[in-house]
Amino acid sequence: MTNIEQESFETTITHIDKKGSGRAVVWRDTGQVNPKKLKLTIPQTIPGEKVKVTVNQPNRKWARVFADQIIEADQDRVEPKCPHFDLCGGCVFQHWHYYGQLKAKTDYVRQSFANQGFDTDLIEDTIGTDSPWHYRNKMEFTFAKDGSLGLHEQGNFRKIISLETCLIAGKKTVETLLEVADWAKTHELPGYYKEDHKGLLRHLMIRESYATGEMMLGLFATEAPVGELKAIADDLVNRITTKFNLVKSLIWFVNNDWADRTQAEEQYVLAGRDFIYDQMSGYRYRLWFDTFFQTNPRQAEKLVELAIEMADPKPEEKMIDLFCGVGTFSLPFANRVKALAGVEIVEASIESAKRNARDNGIDNTTFLAKDARRGIDQVIEEFGIPDLLMLDPPRSGAGGKVMRRIGRAQPSRIVYVSCNPESLAVDLKELMPFGYKIEKIQPVDLFPHTVHVEAITLLCRRTT
């Protein structure tokens, strides 16, 4: 049979994958007994939509293509606001009305729990935000080989989309981004190209506090700002400090590691201090460049409020906060319980948590730098069995060993905050043999126009 180089199909989107793209299947008549199955990944589509696509080399088993035409559009389809949406990988749902996004996220949480055999009736509708734009307080941008600055192209991490705007970043973030991009262009500074490990500029990290207004700019480069680079770095300082008086921290980081992420071997504070202040739920926090802090502060405050409401902490109770980070949940809870012990494997975060507690006048906390499984054993030995246990693990979840250790500890109530419904459901299944019952599951949208969703779960120990 002659190989067909290109072929058009009409198909219907069946579901959305983990990266936010639509999925569909077509069956090709190859002239043989059985038709051939072709799986399609089609970005910027919505389940139920009928689309027309063109596939190069359709004799393959799988292809990623954009729709040539939306034949039957979903009622929640809208015109994307961002001029970069078609290419940029920062957002995937701008073509979808926000209420449609929320419904999809609720369905995702329900499917994740159904896959583990849980009753999904306890899952509430996802709580959205009144401000789905300009919500992120931290962004990491990448320099292209030619020195232009932006975000990775959707589905292609080798290409950088030079940005004129970003509708999920803070407005001041965008202004400073454009200033740094102009600085790099003026001095004809080359971007880092990881294929040959050459070039100067790698990333730009910007933090913007919505509560205090303070900003941090972190420039990641392969060389220190000395010698010939000193004058160029001084020009950056002059540009930023003259135009953006709320930038309280401007740092030049040296990173020569092969890994393509924002990490530092050396740091040079060009202006201000090496941290900024932020606030959440009435508490003040110090944030360094590598501090984990919720990236949507408005919704994060809702998350904290919901966690407190669901946990119902009491003044006579003891509490453990696993994966406590810098104390985002620890501090608000500590003011409502007799004593709180926080556990976190990152020592820098624990030092920050201790400092944040002191800054806020909280003296009933203990923070331990250990992994969750060993940390909970030590805390229980010194602290006793907690009445309330909270955990907010990374996307991979807490893991079976940690969950079984929690189950054996038998706290009266457990509040699990998760950024990954799939690992959440897997972890919660580990608690069922220890006599726990899920009381409520509340999804919360912290990341509009993306696939991500948070969920808070309350579990209580059965008494009979």
* Residue numbers annotated as active site: 419
Secondary structure (H, E, C), 26-62: EEECCCCCCCEEEEEEECCCCCCCEEEEEEECCCCCE
Residues 6+ apart with CB under 8 A from 236: 180, 183, 219, 250, 270
- 371-398 burial, b at 16+ Cβ within 10 Å, e below that, comes to ebbebbeebbeebeebbbbbbbbeeebb
What DSSP state is assigned to residue 435? T
What DSSP state is assigned to residue 274? S
Q: Is 334 helix (H, G, I), strand (E, B) or coil?
A: helix
Cβ(108)–Cβ(20) below 8 Å: no
Taking only Cα atoms into account, the Rg of the chain, rounded to an integer number of angstroms, comes to: 25
Q: How many CA atoms lie within 13 A of 95 on its CB side?
A: 18
Pick the closest to residue 429 from 151, 175, 72, 114 (CA basis): 114
List C-alpha distances in Å: 161 to 148, 174, 192, 295, 301: 8, 14, 15, 22, 32
Cβ(268)–Cβ(234) below 8 Å: no
- Which pair of structure tokens corresponds to residue 227? 């010698």
Q: How many CA atoms lie within 13 A of 221 on its CB side?
A: 20
Q: How many CA atoms lie within 13 A of 247 on its CB side?
A: 26
30 vs 313: CA distance, rounded Å: 65
350 vs 364: CA distance, rounded Å: 15
Count other Cβ atoms within 10 Å, centred on residue 202: 24
Axis-axis angle for helices 228-243, 171-186 (nearest 10): 150
Token pair 């589509």 is at which residue?
A: 45
Give the residues across from 144 on adjacent strands: none
Pick the closest to residue 84 from 9, 169, 175, 186 (CA basis): 169
Q: How many CA atoms lie within 13 A of 142 on its CB side?
A: 19
